[in-house]
Structure 1
Amino acid sequence: MSTRTRVRAPHLTGRRWLNTAGDVSLADLRGKVVLLDFWTSCCVNCLHVLDELRPLEEKFADVLVTIGVHSPKFAHEAEPATLDAAVDRYGVHHPVLDDPELATWQAYAARAWPTLVVIDPQGYVVASMSGEGHAHGLDVLVSELVAEHDTKGTLHRGSGPYVPAPAAGSALRFPARAVRLPDGGVLVADTAHHQVVELDPDLETERRRFGTGERGLTPVTFAEPQGLALLPAEVAARVGYDVVVADSVNHALRGITLADGTVRTVAGTGNQLRRREGGGAALEQDLSTPWDVAWFDGQVVVAMAGVHQLWAFDPVDGVVRVLAGTTAEGIKDGAAEQAWFAQTSGFAVGEDDGAEVLWFVDAETSALRSLRRTGTPDRSVPEVHDERLANVEPVAGGGYEVRTHVGQGLFDFGFRDGPADRALLQHPLGLAVAPDGSVLVADTYNGAVRRFDPATGEVSTVLRDLAEPSDVLLDGDTLVVVESAAHRLTRELVPAALRVDAGAHRVQRPPTDLAPGTVELAVGFTPPTGQKLDDRWGDPTRLVVAATPPELLAEGSGSAEGLTRTLRFAAGFDGGVLHVSVQAAACDGDPVTGEVPEFAACHLYQQDWGIPVRLVEGAPAELPLDLRGV
């Protein structure tokens, strides 16, 4: 441990503290291992980390203090009430520093959501890591620090500064999605109550609840259910259940039989998908945060938000497969197997010239997009050749095309009506198709319902001043709006469309200055104690680099083994966005000899970065990133 570079941890600076009795300083926490979790409430990878940290916080309750540093991406996330709701919604049980100006983010040189920083009991930074999947390595590192500082006498055991906020009660808690039942009733995903609720047509009278309200993956429990889809009657009769539920934190699809109220798991193992490829028997395949589901083109399409893909589930044959997306995060249209998505969060099915169209919203690019069949899709399941490290190259079958109608990129959002190529949304989560073919979007972080007219290419505003609308249903001349942050469903008369231009926004996160011309990209990765890079069958690392606009990179884009890459920026550009995706496979091995047993457990580490860059003469010609740095 003494060989680590001793860097004093910077002060924690922000607007206010949540889940504490007052301000917290690192000086107050001397004697504890401190884990900083830089997160933002919109980011699905950050939500994964919140769940990964729960067992660690319980195991090391008397020596580890986790502090969430909320560094917002979207303007709405910087509002105090939004963060208050997010801490409640996601059950954050540790102190949270509200960092709306990204002061602490910049002090710790964070470049990605999420970023984790470990500080030892004497106040020195000992590790930083980007992305998710670090629970095992953190467990090993914290154990080492506890042993070292226990011996030195610099470890102090006891309770930390966490003080839980008072619990609030309501009939619904952060509902996410609603679907109309054949008899006029409504089924609601009551997300924070971990239940699905059936309501009468009046939207208030409860008929029954599915789930006990406890988190879990059993026939009587859910964990933050999000999306809902009714199966066609003939399909439901064959499979024995009527509703498919996207059970997000369980990484599973659940089936509800309305006749007797039974719940079963129909896809997923309960484990989060850690590979980049997948497909096969539905109950044997890991999934990653399914956020919504829809019946489209004879299959259940799944918004696999955790890996930025669309998947397909065949309930009759009981198989799942990748339908669209490479797992790269961003906006890229064209053939489905080459498209990029960014946390797809809501579906609606419509028609265009007699053909089905799947409309969807990508929350992280604030985009409205569509999927259409263009040929005969390949519904075979891809074979995975490398169990340690799957390729991120396209894996889906052909036959579909993706198109973006509203949305510009990972860091562009706002509240603007008008032509679709100029219109802006802010983190939309739901949508519905109107009888005239227009699309109504739950523009969540703008607190609005927006309308896109495919015939004219215009975007307008239908309703405003809503509390984080996450879904909409059409009911004659009224809309049923799921107001998630207000914990209710409300009926709204549809007024004449309002026209809005409240301006465009870009993420306030500062760009990284780099030198024009050639830049060396290097990703740092140090396996946890007891692991080593598994090079028995070649290089177990892979680096994928792309740019927005694509022409920004004259050299260095593409996928290849290794953790370093020489990039060359094209002349005539002053900046853009670099998209970097990295994977590394490490296996349990002998810490002395470095040998890896034949049947050793292997671990996949991965992270995607979207890095705004500005090209400035005299700026660094190196771009260091840490997948896991010690």
Structure 2
Amino acid sequence: MATRARVRAPELIGKGGWLNTGDRQYTLSELRGRIVILDFWTFCCVNCLHVLDELRELEEKHRDTVVIIGVHSPKFVHEADHQAVVDAVERYEVHHPVLDDPELATWKQYAVRAWPTLVVIDPEGYVVAQHAGEGHAHAIEKLVEELEAEHAAKGTLRRGDGPYVAPEPVATHLRFPGKALLLPDGGFLVSDTTRHRLVELDADGETVRRHFGTGERGLSDGGPDEARFSEPQGLAVLPDGRIAVADTVNHAIRALDLTTGVVTTLAGTGRQWWQGSPTSGPAREVDLSSPWDLAWFGDRLWIAMAGVHQLWTYDPEAGSVGVAAGTTNEGLVDGSVAEAWFAQ
């Protein structure tokens, strides 16, 4: 019976150098004995951001055997700017090494064709799987468990700390804030996106009045010191005076009562919408996908549903959500609401 030839993983090269390694440069041979997962991504791709979040649990669970390396592979010219990549790595809380590959050298070596793409390399340095797109975390975790067992038995698995070195934290009131909303009294409410909270400022735009949220990533309702967000973005005032919040990575719409400081969930389940899921129904029972921005218009809260390239609406009277425009195809196509294509 014919056997399939094993493919040695090409070396990692990129003119932008390495991030999150304490300035150390790595080669694949130095990682021999570990299971390496290459995540080919770029920071303006919402699907790539979904994969970053999909990998967090696997990264934590298998931290002594698995090394995830982000290979930043720009799609657009501005994504090749090194400082922009540095900022994106911090903004999206990438807690693994990242190779900045502005000229797509490693991308070409691995014959990658789509953003995102995941490549699994076994402890002996051979490519064992390649997956394009989202939704592969569970399959990859199963493969990781199989590789752990196989290479532990062979004596080729090496456990221990990975090469990730956290950057020094920056002491500021805000860090990569996503949106700002002018309040009736002249103050501002800001989504402090990277720190997973909302910040209320005086009219001078500098003096901090209050914080809403613990600052830890999560999905929980409650008072200002109990609620949790995950990379909140868009803000909009609702007719009853509450502030609607696009809680992007939680795939939810939240509401903040500025009088009491209490946060509640208006829409979303905390799960990401996938093809075949309901596209309308009771707001707390329908999955959403990376809501990014909000606007109140025509008795509805309009939602830029970046993860599926659509516009949705939330009806507070009916307590329901549903698709308003877009096909889920990503692109620039005009037409009726059932025919138009958007991009994030």
Same fold (TM over 0.5): yes
Question: Are 1:224 and 2:231 counterparts?
Answer: yes
- Bigger radius of gyration: 1
CA–CA distance in structure 1, aligned partners of residues 109 and 297 of structure 2: 47
* Structure showing greater relative contact order (alpha-carbon pairs closer than 8 Å, 6 or more residues apart): 2
Aligned residues: 335
Shift of 1:284: 0.7
Letter in 2 for 1:125: V
Matches within 5 A, 1:470-485: none
CA–CA distance in structure 2, aligned partners of residues 188 and 162 of structure 1: 31
- The equivalent of 1:245 in structure 2 is 245
Letter in 2 for 1:253: I
Letter in 2 for 1:313: Y
Q: Secondary structure at the match of 1:149?
A: helix
- The equivalent of 2:149 in structure 1 is 147
CA–CA distance in structure 2, aligned partners of residues 169 and 5 of structure 1: 52
1:5/1:126 contact within 8 Å kept: no
% identical aligned pairs: 62
- The equivalent of 2:187 in structure 1 is 185
- The equivalent of 1:315 in structure 2 is 316
Give CA-to-partner distance per residue, 1:187-241, whole Å, 9 cap, x none.
Answer: 1111011111111111111221111111111121111100000012xxx1xxxx6
- The equivalent of 1:281 in structure 2 is 282
- The equivalent of 1:123 in structure 2 is 125
CA change 1:214–1:4 in 2 (3 A) is: farther
1:301/1:310 contact within 8 Å kept: yes
CA–CA distance in structure 1, aligned partners of residues 181 and 60 of structure 2: 37
- The equivalent of 1:8 in structure 2 is 8
- The equivalent of 2:224 in structure 1 is none
CA–CA distance in structure 2, aligned partners of residues 56 and 37 of structure 1: 13
Aligned partner of 1:164 among 163, 166, 170:
166
CA–CA distance in structure 1, aligned partners of residues 196 and 331 of structure 2: 30
CA–CA distance in structure 2, aligned partners of residues 4 and 301 of structure 1: 52
Letter in 2 for 1:223: S
Q: Secondary structure at the match of 1:139?
A: helix
Q: Secondary structure at the match of 2:338?
A: helix
Letter in 1 for 2:279: G
User: Normalization by structure 1: what TM-score?
Assistant: 0.52
1:45/1:113 contact within 8 Å kept: yes
CA change 1:90–1:4 in 2 (3 A) is: farther
Shift of 1:304: 0.6
Letter in 1 for 2:108: Q
Shift of 1:107: 0.7
Shift of 1:3: 5.6
- The equivalent of 1:325 in structure 2 is 326
- The equivalent of 1:263 in structure 2 is 263
CA–CA distance in structure 2, aligned partners of residues 274 and 57 of structure 1: 23
**What 5-or-longer segments of structure 1 have no aligned partner?**
344-630
CA–CA distance in structure 1, aligned partners of residues 243 and 318 of structure 2: 17
1:254/1:263 contact within 8 Å kept: yes
Q: Secondary structure at the match of 2:250?
A: coil
* Structure number having the greater strand percentage: 1
CA–CA distance in structure 2, aligned partners of residues 61 and 330 of structure 1: 37
* Structure number having the greater helix percentage: 2
CA–CA distance in structure 2, aligned partners of residues 221 and 5 of structure 1: 49
Q: Secondary structure at the match of 2:58?
A: helix
CA–CA distance in structure 1, aligned partners of residues 47 and 245 of structure 2: 21
Question: RMSD of the TM alignment (CA)?
Answer: 1.3
CA change 1:8–1:266 in 2 (3 A) is: same
CA–CA distance in structure 2, aligned partners of residues 4 and 307 of structure 1: 38
CA–CA distance in structure 1, aligned partners of residues 195 and 118 of structure 2: 28
Give CA-to-partner distance per residue, 1:313-337, whole Å, 9 cap, x none.
Answer: 1112110000001100000101011
Deviates more, 1:49-58 or 1:270-279: 270-279
CA–CA distance in structure 1, aligned partners of residues 29 and 216 of structure 2: 37
Question: Are 1:339 and 2:344 counterparts?
Answer: no
Give CA-to-partner distance per residue, 1:43-74, whole Å, 9 cap, x none.
Answer: 11111111111111111111111000001122
Give CA-to-partner distance per residue, 1:502-548, whole Å, 9 cap, x none.
Answer: xxxxxxxxxxxxxxxxxxxxxxxxxxxxxxxxxxxxxxxxxxxxxxx
Letter in 1 for 2:95: H
**What 5-or-longer segments of structure 2 have no aligned partner?**
222-226
Letter in 2 for 1:107: Q
User: Normalization by structure 2: what TM-score?
Assistant: 0.95
CA–CA distance in structure 2, aligned partners of residues 178 and 316 of structure 1: 26
Matches within 5 A, 1:386-405: none
Structure 1 stretches of 4+ with a deviation exceeding 6 A read: none
- The equivalent of 1:303 in structure 2 is 304
